[in-house]
Structure 1
Amino acid sequence: MFTPYTNEIEGFTMNHQILFESDVTISDTLEAHINTVITATLTAQGLTLPCEVSVLITDDATIHEINLEQREIDRPTDVLSFPMFELEAGELPDAEDADPGSGLIPLGDMVISLERTTEQAAEFGHSVEREISYLTVHSVLHLLGYDHMDEGAEKALMRQREEAVLTTLGIVR
């Protein structure tokens, strides 16, 4: 089932559409929280044009299958991001990238394993909400061109942006 959201944060309406699909049980509260985190991340990055993000909340078996099919990596992971555009970190899509039918810029898809999120939260000693917030920010930044493949400047920039968004949301370690 897809749940679309139109977002409002601090009185500023962002006409982003976030499409949720879940093949595991997720509370309405956690789904709404993910929506808030996505919107906050887009806002923090300065993206004011209306965008669309698809979110699948799943389990380890499904994310493993997707990881194998899409990336040829034969193991589950916590989050996968499939950006629609090849952006550089900090670069934003523009109005020309919008779908003519919807007027929305399709940023891409994120897949989060709730099973892995729960395990990692316990391992790191914090809440599932904190872990899923981190993974959501991380994924949105990937959709916007951020990467961490090197251990240098790119990774440091991505980590700095992640922490800035989480701090803005009051989600700290």
Structure 2
Amino acid sequence: MIDFHYETDFSIDNESKFADWVSRIVLSEDKAYSQLDFIFCDDEYLLKINQDYLDHDTYTDIITFPYEDMNGIAGDIFISVDRVKENASDFGVEFDLELKRVMAHGVLHLLGFGDKSEEEASQMRLKEDEKIKLFHVEH
């Protein structure tokens, strides 16, 4: 199941289209999922999670918490809508594109992709681009 939760005034239009897309991201890597929860929030909400659970005192666009599940990947993906808006402006891209990039990024983390080294970050960016293209593919 793929669910969307909102801790801010933002909400996704056409959640079913986004859920279908996220499902295809997972399936495109020959994996299965059991439960994926996207929690959209503001900077302060995600900063508190970053401080409380990761002992980081910085703003971030996304935090992913994986959960053990024998039926496939599972986890919570927290996304700061404030950071996504700012990143979109900084990178000169539309908000919707940056939102898809961040959402794909979280799913890719749950699928086992990292981004700590330069090589991993480069591979992650290629995978993000590949998965964003799946959004317009009809299932």
TM over 0.5: yes
Q: Which runs of 4+ in 1 moved over 3 A?
A: 30-34
Per the normalisation by structure 2, the TM-score is: 0.85
Cα distance in 2, alignment partners of residues 150 and 166 from structure 1? 22
Alignment of 1:111 with 2:78, yes or no, is yes
C-alpha displacement at 1:60, in angstroms? 0.1
1:82 to 61, 65, 75: 65
2:27 to 34, 43, 62: 43
RMSD: 2.0
C-alpha displacement at 1:25, in angstroms? 1.6
Which of these two proteins has the greater Rg computed from alpha carbons? Answer: 1
Alignment of 1:68 with 2:37, yes or no, is no
Query: How many percent of aligned residue pairs carry the same amino acid?
Result: 26
Cα distance in 2, alignment partners of residues 50 and 65 from structure 1? 28
Alignment of 1:133 with 2:96, yes or no, is no
Larger relative helix fraction: 2
Q: 1:79 to 1:149 in 2, by over 3 A?
A: same
The residue type paired with residue 76 of structure 1 is: Y
Q: 1:149 to 1:30 in 2, by over 3 A?
A: farther
User: How many residues matched?
Assistant: 136
Deviates more, 1:105-114 or 1:64-73: 105-114
2:37 to 44, 54, 57: 54
Cα distance in 2, alignment partners of residues 38 and 139 from structure 1? 10
C-alpha displacement at 1:33, in angstroms? 5.1
Contact kept, 8 Å, 1:78 with 1:116, in 2: the verdict is yes
